[in-house]
Structure 1
Amino acid sequence: MKLRRTRLAATALGLAGLSLFASSGTAQAAHGMPYVGYGYENIPAAVKCAQHISNVFGGYSGPIIEDGRYGPETEWAIQKFQKRMVDTGRAPLVADGIVGPATGSAMLRVLWDAGIRDAEYGKCWAALPS
């Protein structure tokens, strides 16, 4: 009986800690997602997120089609985004047109900072590498 109460208490503390962490204002993203760029799998949902974020926050001179397909315009728009942003260590991003963990984290950070947490672009949290 005492062991069961101890397990229940530990579970309750663990859940309380998780809910506190989840509501602490930090962005939670899926780690290990495939990169976006030439030579990579290019999951359409991740490409579409990268296209949207590049359109809105990247300083691209004209909107690109958000169709989930990686091509030259998407590569260029991502490069423009990368030239304007820094990584979590405040170092400039490499402007290679590839969304890996550093660029993915920067993209998620601008969504978080802008308060964008709606259902459509909330999917980006699970799609972009970080």
Structure 2
Amino acid sequence: MAKVLGVGGIFFKSQNPKLLGQWYRDHLGMEVGEYGADFSPGAMPENGLTVWCPFAEESEYFQPSARSYMFNLVVDDLAGALCQVEAGGGELVGEIVKESYGQFGWFIDPEGNKVELWQPA
């Protein structure tokens, strides 16, 4: 049987793709080109991984965003990344949560998408 080997991309609609890409470049250091940002598996931290997880329809985890999705980005410095996002006009959501497998923080980007940042342990 053929099987899935990993996540090949995150694709979503944007009111202004170029402007939103520039915002992520300026405030999270993403190298955004004509076709988005490429992430090499070798750039992932030792304890990093990609998760695919459907949530229950009634889940409130993506709030305060009205979107039916949320994406997670792996970062090397969670506190620093959240400061950069806030300085760039992003809205921080909640407090940093520390788990055995890393730390998490959240923000709403300029187009209303909730984004989870994860710094692996």
Q: Which has more radius of gyration?
A: 1
Same fold at TM > 0.5: no
Higher share in helix: 1
Higher relative contact order (CA closer than 8 Å, sequence separation 6+): 1
